[in-house]
Structure 1
């Protein structure tokens, strides 16, 4: 039609003005009707998709509109099969909502051919059937990856690294997204840690405890490693991998806010770095906990702020379940002359067994009263 009109326009001089005007009228009538036709098809598919995502999958109108950018269908046969498949796996309503919101493309899959083989693979490797809904909802995009080209090779890589299916499954169920980035993120970041002298056992420990750390981009991960090195943390020590986790899991703005709380209590930048070297988790606790712990140590127990960085591990301990109860015992013992002030930090860091024997039960008749006081404080902490 368009080519025909172009030829007519090119030869306009050979036809009458009235004939040309009639042809333009036909063109103007045809174009809107054609546009309306294609728009009606598109609108119909969009409308049905959004309605289905709302009614059958439980998405909100906003979520359905967003998901419809990635999937479009005009009938419910295929998608109903997927929804029923998920229900038979034990998915709850909220889990179906999360799965379809994050991976709407899966609604077009054949569940028997595409989804089931992947689920059977994970079960064959030790993931319990009851854990499957949680695993898939934590990372629905697992179902969009190739079983043979990605999921199996990645699983085997981690299994060989951990030397155990069970050990890797613990990390996988905690953070399943790690299996999607093995070659692009995990391997390069592991290689960097080896190059700077981190022992293999510590690398595996970091993978087990905080697998998300390894999904940072290699450039950002490298910057974090360099920052930890500049702070003087020894790569051969356990603190090095904890420092990497502590930095990767918070923004610079968050770090700055916590640093400012410490500075309010008289710490310098060097004090903060010294404390971080000894116990990286002193920068993982909340600003409120930092403030409350420093208040107890400085104002109530009379500890000079400059000495606390040397015992930074105390800051990472539970305030209500450990520091406050034991501080109460320390204050009583100190008032009776039964301990010296230099025992302040040792009373916090020792094990529960050592604490009870050394600071409570060893004091004869007074021990029973101290034990009652200690238990009351623990009860308040819940």
Structure 2
């Protein structure tokens, strides 16, 4: 019992000391870790003070290949000084991408600079898609950049496109990028035109295999010539990339209106019928000037593009031709091409000349069989010779009226 009493307190003391030592060691370890982090951050900030143009003398910031876990300051500093992000943008980006190592980000940035991306373009790309820094250079990025360059896209264009559409580099080379290029090349045949379309339509690349290829094959089988297909793909890519069911329904509607697939106005009619909201706006504008359903449909068949004009364009043109020139709106319905011409550059100058000639009695509308087609749809050379030069002896100021230097009322 004595031994128990003698050794009991001693054992309890030793056990208590052991627990205290473990606890103290744990506290010391935690203090050391905190001190280590503090020292790392201070040294990082100190190293960044000795930077010139964002790069340290002799070394780069965060030159270690690994970033300690939990070191948000390290990731933010890397994004600021290596990717040229603002401090606020870097903080936001650091929440979207975890840079546990600098190996991949460094290799990504090196590849971009090799392809002549500017600091601003790199900053834009990383800000929009921070996870891009973790891409595999050899397996993912390099093959795509090489392919895009091989098709004739300059590095300047490549950097500009990818900095604004970084998601493009996350698309499959085999399933998206190559099929899109194949479609364009098979239609327009020219590398130069392919690059031009690429610049405008990269947002449709995901839909080429599922929608674009079947739709082009559909119109090709129905007899549409290569020239019309090229026009459709080049200028109306959005329509080509619609779901095959929607696309075929649209083609069927155009056929019901009597358009010939062999003529370019077939593609124009597709565009007019595709944008239903614009069609309704045009329809309302024409009706406000007294056009009937037959007038509208007749105008559409004659010139499909008259149904894709803005309400402002229609109203201003109608106001000038009806209220100032005195032509009936039903007469204008027979020549809907007039809405495709510039009011300032063609309609007003030519009408001003015609107005002077009519007021002077030099021409008579009935006798001369003066039609809107003669006034607006003839070439500049024809109009100048037959309506301006022909009457300069009688009206010397007529050329000034045509050139907009003089109002017709002042002649």
2:184–2:233 CA contact under 8 A, matched in 1: no
Does residue 300 of structure 2 align to residue 276 of structure 1?
Answer: yes
Does residue 362 of structure 2 align to residue 353 of structure 1?
Answer: no
**Aligned positions of 1:158-197 closer than 5 A:** 158-197=184-223
Change (3 A) 1:325 1:179: same
Structure 1 residue 153: Cα displacement: 4.5
Q: Distance in 1 between matches of 2:133 and 2:406?
A: 51
**Aligned positions of 1:112-261 closer than 5 A:** 113-137=139-163, 139-248=165-274, 250=275, 252-261=276-285
Task: From 43, 60, 72, give the equivalent of 2:97.
Answer: 72
Q: Distance in 1 between matches of 2:347 and 2:86?
A: 45
2:332–2:372 CA contact under 8 A, matched in 1: no
- Which structure shows the bigger proportion of residues in helix conformation? 1
Does residue 363 of structure 2 align to residue 339 of structure 1?
Answer: yes
Give the RMSD, CA atoms, in angstroms. Answer: 3.5
Change (3 A) 1:155 1:72: same
Partner of 1:364: 392
Deviation per CA, 1:26-58: give whole Å up to 9, x if none.
xxxxxxxxxxxxxxxxxx799998998899575
Task: From 341, 353, 363, give the equivalent of 1:329.
Answer: 353
Change (3 A) 1:152 1:276: same
Structure 1 residue 346: Cα displacement: 1.7
1:136–1:142 CA contact under 8 A, matched in 2: yes
Structure 1 residue 327: Cα displacement: 1.4
Change (3 A) 1:148 1:222: closer
Task: From 310, 313, 316, give the equivalent of 1:289.
Answer: 313
Deviation per CA, 1:320-370: give whole Å up to 9, x if none.
111112111121122123334333332111111222112111223246421
With 334-343 and 149-158 compared, the bigger mean Cα shift is at 149-158
Q: Distance in 2 between matches of 1:345 and 1:219?
A: 39
Q: Distance in 2 between matches of 1:370 and 1:63?
A: 65
2:152–2:195 CA contact under 8 A, matched in 1: yes
Structure 1 residue 313: Cα displacement: 0.9
Structure 1 residue 237: Cα displacement: 1.9
Q: Distance in 1 between matches of 2:228 and 2:314?
A: 28
Change (3 A) 1:241 1:46: farther
Q: Distance in 1 between matches of 2:335 and 2:91?
A: 52
Change (3 A) 1:114 1:264: same
Q: Which has the larger radius of gyration?
A: 2
Change (3 A) 1:308 1:51: farther
| TM-score, normalised with respect to structure 2 | 0.69
SS at match of 2:156: coil
Q: How many residues align?
A: 332
**Aligned positions of 1:16-31 closer than 5 A:** none
| TM-score, normalised with respect to structure 1 | 0.73
Change (3 A) 1:326 1:188: same
Change (3 A) 1:148 1:198: closer
Partner of 2:338: 314
Structure 1 residue 281: Cα displacement: 1.7
